[in-house]
Amino acid sequence: MKYKSMLFYILIFIFSISLYGCSTDKSELNEISLVVGMGIDKISSDNSFVVTLEIINPNGTKDDNNALKKGNNSIIQTSTGNSIFDAVQNFSKNSSTLLDFSHAKVIILSKELCESESGVSEAMDYLNRNRQMRSTNWILVSNKSAKEILKSKIPNEGAISNGINTMMSLFERNGPIVPMTINSFIIESKKESNSSFAPVIDIEKSKDSTAPRITVEKMAILKNNRLIAILTSEESKNLFWMADYTKGHTDIFPLKSAKNNTNITTRVFKQSTQIIPHLTEEGFNMEIRCKGSAFIEQAGNIDMSPENISRFEYDIESVLKGELNKLITKSQKNLDTDFVGFSTKIYSNYPKEWLNIKKDWDKIFPNIKYKISFEIKLTNIGIIKDPVVRNEEETSK
C-alpha cells in the first residue's frame, strides 16, 4: 500500500510538469514582442502622437559560446496615431506579434510633449490605465525627442532601456538625482502643490569619443502636468534634500584648507530631512533640518586634527545651506512653484488651516519665510590618517 501511494504521487508530479511544458510552448513565445522601453513624442502641427518602442530582438545573433551579442539585443519600432492608444494599436498593422509591456523598464516623455497644452496628462492617463504597465517603471523627460533617445546606444548595453534602468537603480540607492517611477510621479503631481518632477535624459557629444553619450544630471519641474523649467545640474543635485523618500549623495569640491589653501573633495550622504511648519501670528514659516554624514575622498597635506575636522564640518554645512537656499529661492521667486513641498507639510500638520489658505497658496508661497540648518558629521576620513606626501614646512621640523 505504501509503494502504491508513492507511485501515485510520482505520477501526479510528472503529469504536472508535462502540463507546465505545454503551457509555455515555444511557438507561443514567438508570437509575443517583449517591450523593454517606450518613448512618447507629440507632433504639435497636427496634435498627433509618435510612440517608439524598444523590443527585445528574438533573432539576436550569438557568438561561439552561444551568448547573445550585445548590440543586437533589441530593435526599435515607431508608430503614429491620433492618441497614444491609437499609435500603439497601429503597431499591429506592420507586425504579426502581440505587444507585451509587462517587461517594460523605462518610459521617456519628450520635452515638446511635456510643454504642450495638455502636458503629460494624456500620457500619464494611458500609462495608468494600461494593465500591463508596471507602476514601478521609470519616468524620464527627454531634452531631445524620445525617439532619438531610444535609438541611441549605451556602451556595453545591448538594450538602451536596460542601461537606463541600471542608471536609475543606482540613483535610487546612491545618486544625486531623484529617480521617479510612474507611481511616485503620479503621487507627487496629486499633492497640494500640483507640481512634480522627473529626471532629464539627454544626448551629449563626448570630448573623449566621437560617439555621443547618454546623460542624466538634471531635473524637470512640472506644474499642473506641464513642464515649466529644467533645473541646472547643481540645483538638481540639491533637490533630493527636499524629497521625503530619497537618500543619496552630493560631492563638494573644492573645499579649501585654511592652512595651505589645499583643495579637498568631500562626499556627503543624506540621512534625513525634516520640513517642519510653524504657525505664528504672521502666518506660516518653515524649519528645514537636514542631517548627513561626510567622507573625505581626496585631500592634500592636511592633518585631521579634531579642530580641522570641526572646521571642515562647518564649511560643508555652510556650502550645503547656501546651495539649498538658492534652490528654494528659485522655487519661490523665479518659478512660483512649490516643488520643494511646503504645502504638503502644512496640510499634513495643519489640515484645517490649510483649507483656509489653499486657494491663495500661489500668492502666499513666494513670501513664506524659512530657516535651513545642516548637521553634518565627518564620519570617515579614509584609511590614511597622515598625509601621503608632506610639504616642505613639515619635513623641515
> Over the stretch 309-349, which tens digit does the pLDDT of each residue have?
888 899 899 999 999 999 999 999 999 999 999 999 999 99
Instruction: Kindly state the DSSP code that residue 62 receives in the 8-state scheme.
Output: B
Q: Which amino acid is at 274?
A: Q
User: Taking the CB of residue 304, how many other CB atoms lie within 10 A of it?
Assistant: 17
Q: Is the pLDDT of residue 19 over 70?
A: no
Strands 283-298 and 263-280: antiparallel
Answer for the pair 88, 14: CB distance below 8 angstroms, yes or no.
Answer: no
Q: Is the pLDDT of residue 397 over 50?
A: no
Residue-level pLDDT at 35: 95
Average pLDDT over residues 85-111: 91
Give me the numbers of helices (H) and strands (E) for the chain, helices first please. 14, 13
Residue-level pLDDT at 7: 61
DSSP 68-133: BPTTSSEEEEEEEESSHHHHHHGGGGS-SSEEE-TT--EEEEEHHHHHSTTTTHHHHHHHHH-TTS
Q: Which domains does the chain have, with CATH numbers?
A: 30-230 (no CATH), 232-397 (3.30.300.210)
> Which residues on neighbouring strands pair with residue 77, listed in sequence order?
53
CA-wise closest residue to 107 among 46, 24, 51 = 51
Whether the full predicted model's pTM is greater than 0.85, yes or no, is no
Task: Tell me the backbone φ, ψ of residue 73, rounded to 5 degrees.
Answer: -80, -20
> Over the stretch 65-87, which tens digit does the pLDDT of each residue have?
444 444 458 899 999 999 999 99
